[in-house]
Amino acid sequence: MRQSTALAMAMLFFIATGVRASADQPSPGPGGERPYSPFADWDRPIDVYFGDTHVHTGLSADAGGAGTRLMPRDSYRFARGEQVTSNTGQPVRLARPYDFFMITDHSDGMGVITDILEGAPNIMADPEGRKFHEAFVAGGKRAMEATRELIRQFAQGELSPALNYQPGNPNFGRIWKQLIDAAEEFNQPGDFTTFIAFEWTSLVKGNNLHRNVIFRDGPDRAGQVEPYTTTPPKGSPDPQDLWAWMQAYEDQTGGRVTAIPHNGNLSNGMMFALQDDFANGANYYRAYAQARQQWERLYEVTQLKGDGETHPLLSNEDEFADYENWDWGNLDGSEAKTPAMLPGEYARSALQRGLMLQRDLGINPFKFGMIGSTDTHTGLSTVNDANFFGKFPREEPSPERALVMAADNKQTGIAYKGWRYSSAGVAAVWATANTREAIFDAMQRRETYATTGPRMRVRFFGGWDFSPQDLRHRDLGQIGYTRGVPMGSDLAAAPGKSGAPRFLVYALRDPMGANLDRIQIVKGWLDDRGEPREQVYDVAWSGDRKPGKDGKLPPVGDTVDLSIPSWSNAIGAADLGAVWQDPDFDPRLDAFYYARVIEIPTPRWTAYDQVKFKLDLPADIPLKVQERAYTSPIWYKARGSDVTAR
C-alpha cells in the first residue's frame, strides 16, 4: 500500500501518466545508448481521455417527445465547454469539457419526432400520429404520458408503421446526414474529438438490448450507409443481424465500426443470457462467440439508469455491491425482475459466464472491457452531482424532480421516481492521441475503464515480474508496459515461471474531486467443478486501518456535511497504488481480474437538491455516494486453454 500528499501528487502528475521505455524503446543513440528522454520514440499511451459514448438529443423520438429541444450542435457546444440554455430554460455549463463525445440518437424512427411535433401531413393522416402530435404539443403531463406510451408501443412491437421511419425514407436519410455533418463540424482532433454514431434500439417485449454503434471513419465512409434498425424487413432485433450489417459495412467501405451494449439492468437477463433467445433458447455456437467478441469489445457498465457492475444477490460478501442498483423490471415495466434474471444483467456475473462459455466453445463471447457513459436524453451530459441535469427534461433541476414519477406501468404496477437516476458515467480511454483513430483503436484494445463520474486516473497491469520496489518509481506506465500487459489484455501462463501472477495498480484522484478510500482487485474464475466463483481483495487503502478478523477493512469514515452540502478531504488519500499477488492462485484455472477504485463518501445530487430547493426529502432517498471506477479486466490464460481472438 502507498499513499502521498496532494502536493506531491501535483508535482509528480506528469510523470505518473506512464510513458513507455523498454529494452527496445526508445531507439539507441549514435553510440548505442538510449536517448536521455524517455519520451523519444515511445509507442504506448501516455494520457487518458474522458468522454461520453451515449448521448441523445431532440432528434431521438423519446427525447424529443419528452420535451428535449437541444439538437446535436447544442450538445457538442455544451460538451466542449460552452454555456447553453437547457430544455427548461436554465443556464448550464460544464466545469471541464470532455475530450471526446458521441451523439447516439436512435436509429428506429430517426427523424419522425420532428415531423410529429410539426404535424407533417403524413403524420396527421395517421390516427396514432395525430394523437401523439396533439399530446406532445400540449406539453406537461400529457406529453410525459405520451412519451411513455410511445416507448411502450415500440417496445411491444405495436407502433404504427407510419411512425417508425426506416432506411430509404427521405426524412430518415436527411436526419442521418445532419448527424454526420454536425459530428464533422465539431471534430477538432487533438482537442475535442467527435464520432459518427447511432443507437440500435433492440427491444424484445420491453427487454433492453440496445447497442451504440460507433464508426472510426468520417463521412466519406460512414455516409455510404444509413443506420441499421431493429424493424423487419430492413432491420432486425437480433444482435447477430446487427453484426452481419457491421461486417457488410466494413467489407463495402473499408472502414471500421464497433458496438457497445447498453448496461443490461433493463434486459431482464437477456443481455448476457447463456442461450440464444432469438433461436428458441438454442445453445450458442463457436461462430456466435467469435462474432460477439469481434464486434462488442466494450460494455457500458454504469450510466444514468443505474450501475451494472454487480448486485448484492450475486455478490453477497461484497460490501460495495449495493450501489445504484436498478432491479425492478425491464425498460417499459411490462415484466417484473426475478432473482434468476440478475446473472444475465451484471458485468461481474457476465464475465464469469464468459469463462463458462469459453470452456464449452473455446471462445469467450463475453470478453469485454469496461466503460461508463450517461444515456442522457436532454442533450446535456452532466455527471457532476452538483451540476446534474437529469435523464429527461422533467428531471432537469426543480423542487419536484426527485419525487416526480419517472416511469409508471399501470398494468403491472412497476414504477420508479426521479431520484432513482444516478449521475453517471464516464468513459476513460488510454490512447496515443485525442483523435478518432487513436481512441477507437484503444477501445478495440479494451484499454479503457469506467467511472461513475469523477475523472480519477487509473492504471492496471498484469505480469509475472512486478515487485514491491516498482512502487518507488514514478514511471509506472514504463514499468507496466515493459514487464506486463495493460487492462483489457490476456496474461498468458509464462514458461518457466512459478508462483502467482502479480498486478500493478495505481489510482490518482480527480484533482477537482474526492480523495480515495481504497483500491480493490476483483477476481472471477470457475472452480474444479466448473462453478463460478469470485473474490474481492482490498489491495491498497488510505490511513492506518487494518482488516478485521473477518478480513474486511473498516470503513474510511465520513466527512459529508449535508447542510451545505460538501465534504472534506481530511480523510482518504490523493493517490494509492499496490503490487499485489493473488494468494489463491491455481495455475490450472482460467480467471479474470479487474480493479475497482472507491472514493470517500460525497454528497449525491439529491443532497444538493435538498439544500438548493429547501426540501425535506423522504428518508429512503440516498443523499450520499461513494463514487468509483472499474478497469477493464485482465484475463489469465492457463496453459493448454484456447487463446481467444484478440
pLDDT in tens, 100-135: 999 999 999 999 999 999 999 999 999 999 999 999
Between 472-481, 524-533, 596-605, the lowest mean confidence (pLDDT) is in: 472-481
Confidence class for position 144, pLDDT limits 50, 70, 90: confident
Q: Look at residue 50 and tell me if it is in a domain.
A: no
Of the three residues 430, 449, 482, the one that is the final residue of a domain is 430
Answer whether residue 440 is part of any domain.
no
The three-class DSSP label of residue 385 is helix
387 & 302 share domain: yes
Q: How many domains would you assign to the chain?
A: 2
- Is residue 392 within 8 Å of residue 66, measured between CB atoms? yes
Q: Is residue 76 part of a domain?
A: yes
Q: What is the mean pLDDT of residues 215-235?
A: 96
Residue 16 has pLDDT above 80, yes or no: no
What would the grid cell of residue 331 be?
A: 425498460
pLDDT tens, residue by residue, 20-53: 333 334 444 445 566 788 778 888 998 999 999 9
Can you give the pLDDT at residue 36?
83
Q: What percent of the chain has pLDDT over 70?
A: 94
Note the pLDDT of residue 12: 40
Is the residue at 83 inside a domain? yes
Per-residue pLDDT band for 83 (boundaries 50, 70, 90) equals very high
Q: Do 173 and 93 fall within a single domain?
A: yes
Q: Does the pLDDT at position 7 exceed 50?
A: no
- Phi/psi zone of residue 321: left (φ > 0), alpha (ψ -120 to 50 degrees), beta? alpha
CA-nearest of 160, 117, 154 to 138 is 117
- Other CB atoms within a 10 A radius of the CB of residue 563 amount to 9
The answer on pLDDT for 13 being more than 50 is no
pLDDT > 50? residue 455: yes
CB-CB contact of 66 with 394 (8 Å) = yes
Its domain, for residue 15, covers: 6-43+458-637
Domain membership of residue 453 (yes or no) is no
198 and 319 fall within a common domain: yes
The residue-averaged pLDDT of 137-153 equals 83
| pLDDT the model gives residue 37 | 81
Predicted confidence band at 641 (pLDDT cuts at 50, 70, 90)?
A: low
pLDDT score at 228: 98
Is the pLDDT at 4 greater than 70? The verdict is no
pLDDT at 6 (0 to 100):
40
Final residue in a domain of this structure, among 414, 430, 446: 430
Specify the pLDDT at position 32: 53
Supply angle C-alpha 279, 282, 284, rounded to 5: 100
From CA 99, how far away is CA 56, in angstroms rounded? Answer: 18
Decide which of 145 and 398 is more confident.
398
What pLDDT is stored for residue 147 in this prediction?
A: 83
In a shared domain, residues 116 and 193: yes
Residue 18 above 60 pLDDT?
Answer: no
C-alpha cell at 625: 455516494
Within a domain: 439: no
Q: What is the mean pLDDT of residues 134-160?
A: 84
**pLDDT score, position 611:** 98
Average pLDDT of every residue of the chain: 92
Whether pLDDT at 183 is above 70: yes
Is residue 338 domain-shared with residue 466, that is, in the same domain?
no
Same domain, 264 and 307: yes
Q: Over 80: is that where the pLDDT of 252 sits?
A: yes
Q: Are 360 and 380 within one domain?
A: yes
Note whether 140 and 26 are same-domain residues: no
> Does residue 437 lie in a domain region?
no
- pLDDT surpassing 60 at residue 263: yes
Which of 384, 415, 430 marks a domain boundary? 430
Q: Does residue 445 form part of some domain?
A: no
pLDDT at 486: 98
544 and 397 in a common domain: no
390: CB partners within 8 A, 6+ apart:
304, 376, 378, 396, 397, 401, 418, 421
Give the mean model confidence (pLDDT) for residues 192-219. Answer: 97
Which of the residue ranges 219-233, 308-322, 491-505, 518-532 would you say has the lowest mean pLDDT? 491-505
> Taking 90 as the threshold, does the pLDDT of residue 639 lie above it?
no
With the CA atoms of 376, 379, 381 and 386 taken in that order, what torsion angle do they form, in degrees rounded to the nearest 10? -90
Q: Which of 9-18, 194-203, 232-241, 329-338 has the lowest mean pLDDT?
A: 9-18
Residue 646 confidence (pLDDT) above 50: no
Is 9's pLDDT higher than 50? no
- Residue 259 shares a structural domain with residue 399: yes
Q: Distance between CA atoms of 55 and 113, rounded to whole angstroms?
A: 17
Q: What is the pTM for the complete model shown?
A: 0.93
Give the contacts of 94 (CB within 8 A, at least 6 positions apart): 78, 79, 81, 381, 382, 384, 387
Q: Do residues 384 and 464 share a domain?
A: no
The CA-atom distances, in angstroms, between 128 and each of 62, 205, 389, 638 are: 15, 20, 31, 58
Please check whether residues 181 and 263 belong to one and the same domain.
Answer: yes
pLDDT of residue 498: 76
Answer for the pair 296, 261: CB distance below 8 angstroms, yes or no.
yes
